[in-house]
Amino acid sequence: MKRAVTKSTLLWLLVLLIALLIPVVVENKFYMHTLILILFYAAVSGSWNILAGYAGQLSLGHAIFFGLGAYTSTLLFMNGGVSPWIGMCAALALCMLVGACIGYPCFRLKGPFFTLATLAFSEVIRLVASFWKELTNGAVGLNIPFQAGFSNLMFRGKEPYYYIALGVLCLVIAVTYWIDRSKMGAYLIAIRENEEAADALGIPITRYKLYAVLISSGLAGITGVFYAQYILFIEPEAMFNVNFSVQVALISIIGGMGTVAGPVLGAVLMIPLNELLRSAFSGLNGLNFFLYGIVLILVVSFIPNGILPTLRGWLSKKRANRHSQLTQAIPGTQKGGGQVDSAN
């Protein structure tokens, strides 16, 4: 068990090292953009994964926090000249507050009804954002004036954005990793698997769901700030988009919900595919999402746990087979092990 932990830590460090070195090698702007998108989507999806994958609350309103974060920092910057770095903290606080206000009443709803309620909240906020022209400039959107500089969180090249996205993703992964290893992770998974049983065991369900939504919405807010600073244009239609929420969910589902690395794997697989299809078939609008939809149906139908847990399942089965062969070959050895590291 101890060895397995260090092994996975080593693997993470290796991936991080490669990720840090990539911009040194890659010069092409399109590739850099795709890489930034991968990091960004992995981070957003990772934040969704905490609420949906661990606590089992399938929200389709994640765009609320993403959009709210983007609008908070942008409005503070454009109206008050507040640095987006400070805006990021404001976004974090506001998103957590709104997350709690939406999550708390909705937690009474189960399964698809929770999903529907989050969907409705997302639509209400989109409509209000389009309507409240004095604040958000309505459907026209907001163009953030470009003033390069570290304190403005705007840069000429793509490398700084890459490293910031990587930093945000690392934060999301670290938080998820901590949840996964802590008592909280066990509680959340218990709630996801069987709420009544978790309640009967004395787990304070609502409090832990609330913790999950606080963390999840706060992190999503930060990714929203990054997005606004990278694209420099925000509008209600794009920021509070249900399709965005679906896409974010899809990445985690494909990679593996309720795992630390699932959202990263999902983003690494799906985002390049998406960008590739979009550039290769630019004349055929919709092909990328058409295939997304088909992949989603196939994945949930055939490997409902996602790619990562399925792969782990195979590996541990293989290992267990080898182990049982070994124990048969050497008489007197104890049975056991094999399954342990597949636990997460």
Partner 1 sequence: MTQFAQVVISGILVGGIYALISMGLNLILGVVRIINFAHGEFLMIAMYISFLLYSTWGLDPYVSAPIVALALFVFGWLVHRVIIQPILDTSATVKIFATLGLSITLQNFALMMWNADYRTVQTAYQTTVIRMGEVAVSVPRLIAFLVAVLISLGLFLFLKYTLTGKAIRAVAMEKRAAALAGIPVKRIYLLAFGIGSGLVGLAGSLLMPIYYVFPTVGTLFVLTAFVVVVLGGMGSMFGAFLGGLLIGLVEALAGVWISPGLKEAVYFAIFILVLLFRPSGLFSLGKGSEEVGLK
Which residues of the chain form contacts with partner 1 (CB under 8 A)? 58, 105-106, 108-113, 115-117, 119-121, 123-124, 127-128, 130-131, 242-243, 246, 249-250, 253, 257, 284-290, 292-297, 300-301, 304
Tell me whether residue 110 or residue 181 sits nearer to partner 1 (CB atom).
110
- Considering the complex, what minimum distance in angstroms separates the CB of residue 47 from partner 1? 18
- Considering the complex, what minimum distance in angstroms separates the CB of residue 288 from partner 1? 8
43: Cα separation from own chain's centroid: 5
Six token digits for residue 344: 């997460």
Burial 149-183 (b: 16+ CB within 10 A, else e): eeebbbbeebeebbbbbbebbebbbebbbebbeee
Contact 216, 175 (CB under 8 A): no
- Considering the complex, what minimum distance in angstroms separates the CB of residue 223 from partner 1? 22
Six token digits for residue 256: 């593996």
- Considering the complex, what minimum distance in angstroms separates the CB of residue 109 from partner 1? 6
- Specify which residues 233 forms β-bridges with: 143
Number of neighbouring beta carbons within 10 Å of residue 78: 14
Six token digits for residue 176: 């998820």
DSSP string, 200-247: HTT--HHHHHHHHHHHHHHHHHHHHHHHHHHH-EE-HHHHT-HHHHHH
Tell me whether residue 243 or residue 333 sits nearer to partner 1 (CB atom).
243
- Considering the complex, what minimum distance in angstroms separates the CB of residue 140 from partner 1? 14
What kind and span of H or E run contains 198? helix 195-200
Tell me whether residue 290 or residue 314 sits nearer to partner 1 (CB atom).
290
Contact 264, 40 (CB under 8 A): no
Tell me whether residue 15 or residue 298 sits nearer to partner 1 (CB atom).
298
- Considering the complex, what minimum distance in angstroms separates the CB of residue 65 from partner 1? 17
CA-to-CA distance for 254 and 293, rounded, in angstroms? 11
- Considering the complex, what minimum distance in angstroms separates the CB of residue 249 from partner 1? 7
Tell me whether residue 113 or residue 178 sits nearer to partner 1 (CB atom).
113
Tell me whether residue 60 or residue 222 sits nearer to partner 1 (CB atom).
60
DSSP string, 41-106: HHHHHHHHHIIIIIT----S-HHHHHHHHHHHHHHHHHHH---HHHHHHHHHHHHHHHHHHHHHHH
- Considering the complex, what minimum distance in angstroms separates the CB of residue 129 from partner 1? 10
- Considering the complex, what minimum distance in angstroms separates the CB of residue 147 from partner 1? 33
CA-to-CA distance for 232 and 226, rounded, in angstroms? 10
Tell me whether residue 124 or residue 174 sits nearer to partner 1 (CB atom).
124
- Helix, coil or strand: residue 1: coil
DSSP 338: S
Tell me whether residue 114 or residue 230 sits nearer to partner 1 (CB atom).
114
Tell me whether residue 37 or residue 246 sits nearer to partner 1 (CB atom).
246
